[in-house]
Amino acid sequence: MTLASRAVLVVEDEPQLRRVLRTLLELEKFRVFEADSAARALVEARTHKPDLLIVDLGLPDRDGSEVISGVRSWSRVPIIVLSARSDEADKVGALEAGADDYVTKPFGARELIARVQVALRHTAGAGAAGALLQIGGWRIDLTARSARDERGGELHLTPTEYRLLEVLAQHIGMVVTHRTLLQQVWGPGSAQQTHYLRVYMKQLRGKLEPDPARPRWLLTETGVGYRLAQRD
C-alpha cells in the first residue's frame, strides 16, 4: 500500500493545529480526515476506517482516552496520542487504554512524521515483526533464540532476556509501558514488580549496547516504560 492510499484521522479540537497537522500529513501524501470531538472521532473512525489515528486527550466532550478505548473495542489500527499533557500518569493511562505511542506538545514535525511511519511499518509487518533484530554488532534471532556477532561469535542471553526483547520487538519504535512488559514477560501477578525490569534492562544493555551508560537501542521512557529504537 502506498502512502497516497493511506488515511489518517486527526482528532483535535484546535482548528489551527488541525490545519498544521493536515498540511504536514498531506505533504507526506497521506489522505487526512478530521474530528474536533470524541463523539465525532468515533463516527469518523467507523466511517472511514483510517490506517492511523492521531488523538488529542483534551477534547471538549470527553477525554481522548475514551476515543482510544472505543476504537480499540473493534480495531487494532495504530493510534498516536498528541497531547499537551506531559504527566507520566497521563502517558501511562493513554498507552494502557490502547494507544501505540505518545508525542507531547509542542512537537517537532519530523519527529511526528517519523512516529507515524514507524507505527505504519509496524502494522504492515506485524505478522513477522521482530523475528530478527540487529542491535549494535549483534544479530539476534528471537525464533531460534540465538545471538551472534559478525564473526559468528555467540552471545548468551537468558530465556527471560529473549522474552523481554521479543515483547519490545513486537512494538519496535514505540514505547511499551512497565505494566505491559511485566505482564507479558513475568505474568499477570507481576505488574507492580518494576525492579524486575530495571535489573533485566541493565543486563541486556550490558550485553548488547556498545556503551550501556548511553544506550542507543534500549531506551528509557522515564516513568512510563521502554522503547526498542528502530534504526537504519
The whole-number pLDDT of residue 82 equals 95
Amino acid at 30: F
The backbone region for 72, taken as left when phi is positive above 0, alpha when psi lies in -120 to 50, beta otherwise, is alpha
Q: Between residues 56 and 186, which one has the greater pLDDT?
A: 56
> pLDDT tens, 68-120?
999 999 998 999 999 999 888 899 999 988 898 999 999 999 999 988 988 88
Hey, what domains does the chain have and what are their CATH numbers?
3-124 (3.40.50.2300), 132-228 (1.10.10.10)
User: What pTM was computed for the model?
Assistant: 0.75
Listed in sequence order, the residues at least 6 apart from 126 whose beta carbon sits closer than 8 Å to its beta carbon are: none
On average, the pLDDT of the chain sits at 88
